[in-house]
A and B are shown apart, each in its own frame.
Chain A
Amino acid sequence: MNPTTVAVLGIVLMFVLMMLRVPVAFAMLLAGVIGNAYLLTTGVSLHIMATNVWGQFASYSLSVVPLFVLMGQITFHSGVTERLYNAAHKWVGRLPGGLAATTILASMGFAAICGSNSATAATMGTVALPEMKRYKYDGALSTGAVAIGGTLGVVIPPSVVLIIIAVQTEQSIVKLFLANIIPGVILTALLLATVFVVAFRNPTLGPPADSTTWKEKFTSLTGVVEAIALFALVIGGLYAGWFTPTQAGAAGAFGAIIIGFARRTLSLKGLHLAIGETLRTSAMVVLLITGAVLFGKFLTVTRLPFDLAEWATGLPIPPIGILGVVLFIYLIGGCLMDALGFLVATIPIFFPLAVALGYDPIWFTVMLTLVTTMGAVTPPVGVNVYIVSGLVPDIPIQTIFRGVMVFLIAYVIVLLLLVVFPQLALFLPNSL
């Protein structure tokens, strides 16, 4: 059997295992071990596996994962969400659709200190949904805003997904964080615009909340200070070159603990829960990367990624067409299965292709992040939608998916803007 056939069979085996509900990380490890055993020897394959497990688990660059997850979890258990929501509520709540806009703004604020998609949707949902229900918001608009707001957790740095891609593709975490800032802000602005257009066309969907005084508005801003301080410490520290990503994560987590205890918003129970959740997420992520790296090594032995890149660059199709097909595959993949799992499993195949086509790796990563993030809100496997559905069991899941659809226009516009103006992603990292 030639190596390309072995590679294709390896990929098929990996996806079959995943479809049988073998955890994604296990499926990648197993397919990688079996593939390497076939191409090399069983002994060599098992030795590669052991050294790879040690190499990834004891990798300094991966130590950034638990520290950033811890920072997000500490802020989550410190009630930052409520204070961010309260501040945004005071400023834009009285506009038509204002509470949905509040949700998006507060999600952006939380995303700036927490790198998780599902944590952002879950925390924001518990605060925002009862409030929108109180003001008789349309179910599709309210749940759609929470689910789509959660996706900002991945797009806006610090983001665990960006860290994973950076480690897997050996790119600079700092540059990827910076690259996502402008697209993330544009996306937030477009999501806000979507809310206001929807509410302007039909004001009954998002009735205005009670008006607030200027004093209330400015007082509410004290709740935003800690989020801004943490974001400035972490991202500012990275940009200024004070911290490595691991140090930034540690400083962010330490800062969040200090702020939480100083404000008496973090209890020992909260700290205990935050550490427990951090351990589970970190183990899951580190094992995913370990599996992906081993599977990537197997593919490298078969030379499939290079052959694929060579074949694709020789096609009489412009690179943008091939890129479109690749992004479409990610969109469909993100719809059908867990977006993170699909991303990690396929990066070894498609990343070398994008680089061979002449695309900037940082720009491609930003595009990839946006496309796969859409998978978190698209049927049938939309993680955020399921989280929101769990919070409001009385609203049918189809209604939530319907509510999300209108917001996806914003995602498409940002993707198109990035194609036309790649500098939107490249300006900040290139300024380092």
Chain B
Amino acid sequence: MHYLDKINEMINKGMAVVAGAALVCMMFVTVLDAFLRAFAKPLTGTFEMVSWLAALTAAFSLGYTQLHKQHVSIDLLVKMFGVRTRSAIEAGVHLVSLVLFGAVSYKMFIYAGTVRASGSLSETMKVVYYPWVYLVAIGCLGLVIALVLDFLHSLRECFPRQTTGTW
């Protein structure tokens, strides 16, 4: 389990580094465009580039956000239950969530494939944009990995390993 946790952290923190780089690039590209616009020479395609970088920033931070449990949730009701019940509910929640985002990721890969096959180009820069759709699908996969680990942890809390006594 410890080994799996390490892999999860490595993947999602690595993706967060890429997301951070995309965020900084987005800031610089936008500032440069605003500056050049003042001289009537805006950067062509800024709108598209910023949109794609924003997609990469958000998608590659999904799993990292889950590592820090920062997706907003409400524990008004669940905190009233005992530890075992709470863990069982959490396991169920994580299972449902990972199935949901597994489906999101899978459908995003299919969608990226469709965009690629259709040969769609972006409106301004006239370049293929399907790689960015693939990157969003990969970002969702990062969240799925974090959710799988959360699910396993909840299961472990639900059925703690017996350290003393014998069968």
Q: Which residues of A contact B (CB under 8 A)?
A: 17-26, 29-30, 33, 46-47, 49-51, 53-54, 57-60, 62-63, 66-67, 70, 242-243, 246-247, 249-251, 253-254, 275-276, 278-284, 286-288, 336-338, 340-341, 380-381
A residues less than 8 Å from B54 (CB atoms):
57-60, 62-63, 66
B residues less than 8 Å from A280 (CB atoms):
61, 64-65, 68, 70
B58 touches A286 (CB 8 A): yes
B residues less than 8 Å from A288 (CB atoms):
72
Can you list 18 A-B contacts (CB < 8 A)?
A: A20-B93, A22-B73, A23-B71, A24-B71, A25-B71, A25-B72, A46-B107, A57-B55, A57-B58, A58-B136, A59-B51, A66-B54, A247-B33, A250-B34, A284-B71, A338-B72, A341-B72, A381-B76
How far is A419 from B64 in the complex, measured between Cα atoms in Å?
A: 43
A381 touches B74 (CB 8 A): yes
B residues less than 8 Å from A50 (CB atoms):
104, 107-108, 110-111
With both beta carbons as reference points, the residue of chain A lying nearest to B77 in the complex is identified as A19
Question: Knowing A66-B58, A340-B72 touch, does A54 contact B31 (C-beta < 8 A)?
Answer: no
B75 touches A21 (CB 8 A): yes
A182 to chain B, nearest CB (A): 27
A336 touches B100 (CB 8 A): no
With both beta carbons as reference points, the residue of chain A lying nearest to B19 in the complex is identified as A279
With both beta carbons as reference points, the residue of chain A lying nearest to B115 in the complex is identified as A54
B residues less than 8 Å from A33 (CB atoms):
100, 103
B152 at interface, CB cutoff 8 A: no
Q: Could you say which of A18, A66, A275, A283 has the most chain B C-beta atoms within 10 Å of its C-beta? A: A283
A117 to chain B, nearest CB (A): 13
Closest 5 CB pairs of A and B: A250-B30, A63-B54, A283-B61, A23-B71, A50-B107
Question: Knowing A57-B58, A63-B54, A336-B76 touch, does A279 contact B26 (C-beta < 8 A)?
Answer: no
Q: Which residues of B contact A (CB under 8 A)?
A: 16, 19-20, 23-24, 26-28, 30-31, 33-34, 47, 50-55, 57-59, 61-62, 64-65, 68, 70-78, 89-90, 92-93, 96-97, 100-101, 103-104, 107-108, 110-111, 132-133, 136, 140
In-complex Cβ contact of A60 among B51, B72, B77, B97 (8 A)? B51
A21 touches B78 (CB 8 A): yes
With both beta carbons as reference points, the residue of chain B lying nearest to A51 in the complex is identified as B111
B166 to chain A, nearest CB (A): 36
In-complex Cβ contact of A20 among B53, B77, B101 (8 A)? B77
A interface majority secondary structure: helix
How far is A284 from B93 in the complex, measured between Cα atoms in Å?
A: 17
B52 to chain A, nearest CB (A): 6
A21 touches B104 (CB 8 A): no
In-complex Cβ contact of B133 among A23, A26, A54 (8 A)? A54
A186 to chain B, nearest CB (A): 30
B residues less than 8 Å from A276 (CB atoms):
16, 20
How far is A282 from B65 in the complex, measured between Cα atoms in Å?
A: 9
How far is A243 from B33 in the complex, measured between Cα atoms in Å?
A: 10
With both beta carbons as reference points, the residue of chain B lying nearest to A380 in the complex is identified as B76
A residues less than 8 Å from B100 (CB atoms):
26, 29-30, 33
A35 to chain B, nearest CB (A): 14
B23 touches A278 (CB 8 A): yes
B75 to chain A, nearest CB (A): 5
How far is A2 from B59 in the complex, measured between Cα atoms in Å?
A: 36
B residues less than 8 Å from A380 (CB atoms):
76
How far is A46 from B107 in the complex, measured between Cα atoms in Å?
A: 7
A250 touches B27 (CB 8 A): yes
How far is A380 from B97 in the complex, measured between Cα atoms in Å?
A: 27
How far is A66 from B57 in the complex, measured between Cα atoms in Å?
A: 8
B residues less than 8 Å from A70 (CB atoms):
23, 27
With both beta carbons as reference points, the residue of chain B lying nearest to A381 in the complex is identified as B76
How far is A51 from B110 in the complex, measured between Cα atoms in Å?
A: 11
B30 touches A246 (CB 8 A): yes
B residues less than 8 Å from A340 (CB atoms):
72
A residues less than 8 Å from B140 (CB atoms):
53
In-complex Cβ contact of B23 among A18, A275, A284 (8 A)? A275
B residues less than 8 Å from A337 (CB atoms):
74, 76
How far is A250 from B30 in the complex, measured between Cα atoms in Å?
A: 6
B164 to chain A, nearest CB (A): 31
In-complex Cβ contact of B65 among A246, A253, A275, A279 (8 A)? A279
How far is A251 from B28 in the complex, measured between Cα atoms in Å?
A: 9
A88 to chain B, nearest CB (A): 30
B43 to chain A, nearest CB (A): 12
A58 touches B74 (CB 8 A): no
With both beta carbons as reference points, the residue of chain A lying nearest to B100 in the complex is identified as A30
A residues less than 8 Å from B55 (CB atoms):
54, 57-58
B46 to chain A, nearest CB (A): 9
B157 to chain A, nearest CB (A): 14
How far is A380 from B121 in the complex, measured between Cα atoms in Å?
A: 51
B68 touches A341 (CB 8 A): no
How far is A242 from B31 in the complex, measured between Cα atoms in Å?
A: 12
